[in-house]
Amino acid sequence: MTAQQTQLEYLPPDLKRELLPKHVAVIMDGNGRWAKRQGLPRIMGHKRGVDALKDLLRCCKDWGIEALTAYAFSTENWGRPQEEVDFLMTLFQRVLRQELREMVEENVQIRFVGNLSSLPRALQAEISRSVEETKNNRSIRFTVATNYGGRQEIVQACRAIAVEVQQGLLQPDEIDEATFERHLYTTGISDPDLLIRTSGEMRISNFLLWQIAYSEIYITDTLWPDFDRSEFHRALCDYQQRERRFGKV
Ligand code: IPE
Ligand code: IPE
Ligand code: MG
**Is 187 within the bounds of a domain?**
no
CA 239 to chain centre: 18
pLDDT over threshold 90, residue 173? yes
Percent of the chain scored above 90 by pLDDT?
A: 96
**Is 14 within the bounds of a domain?**
no
Which residues line the annotated binding site? Answer: 29-34, 42, 46, 74-76, 78, 80, 197, 203-205, 216
> Which one of 74, 92, 209 would you pick to mutate in the ligand 2 pocket, going by the greatest count of ligand atoms within 8 A of its CB?
74
- Residue 136 sits in a domain whose CATH number is 3.40.1180.10
**Is 175 within the bounds of a domain?**
no
Q: How many structural domains does the chain have?
A: 1
* Structural domain that includes position 72: 21-149+192-240
pLDDT over threshold 90, residue 158? yes
pTM: 0.96
**Is 37 within the bounds of a domain?**
yes
For residue 27, give the H/E element and its range: strand 23-27
- 141, 120, 151: which is closest to 70 by C-alpha? 141
Q: Is the CB of 148 under 6 A from ligand 1?
A: no
pLDDT over threshold 80, residue 49? yes
Quick one: DSSP state of residue 246? T
**Is 226 within the bounds of a domain?**
yes
Which residues line the annotated binding site for Mg(2+)? Answer: 29, 216
**Is 13 within the bounds of a domain?**
no
> Looking at 3-7, 57-61, 150-154, 186-190, which range is the least confident one?
3-7
Tell me the pLDDT tens digit for each residue of 210-225.
Answer: 999 999 999 999 999 9
Residues involved in catalysis:
29, 77
Q: How far is the CA of 107 from the centre of ligand 3 (A)?
A: 31
> Which one of 196, 205, 209 would you pick to mutate in the ligand 2 pocket, going by the greatest count of ligand atoms within 8 A of its CB?
205
- 23, 44, 19, 22: which is closest to 33 by C-alpha? 44
| pLDDT grade for 66, boundaries at 50, 70 and 90 | very high
**Is 44 within the bounds of a domain?**
yes
Q: How far is the CA of 243 from the centre of ligand 1 (A)?
A: 31
Distance separating alpha carbons of residues 145 and 104, to the nearest angstrom? 20
Tell me the pLDDT tens digit for each residue of 107-155.
Answer: 999 999 999 999 999 999 999 999 999 999 999 999 999 999 999 999 9
Confidence at residue 2, expressed as pLDDT on a 0 to 100 scale: 53
Mean of per-residue pLDDT scores for the chain: 96
**Is 1 within the bounds of a domain?**
no
Please, is 78 exposed, middle or buried when counting C-beta atoms within 10 Å of its C-beta (0-12, 13-18, 19+)?
exposed
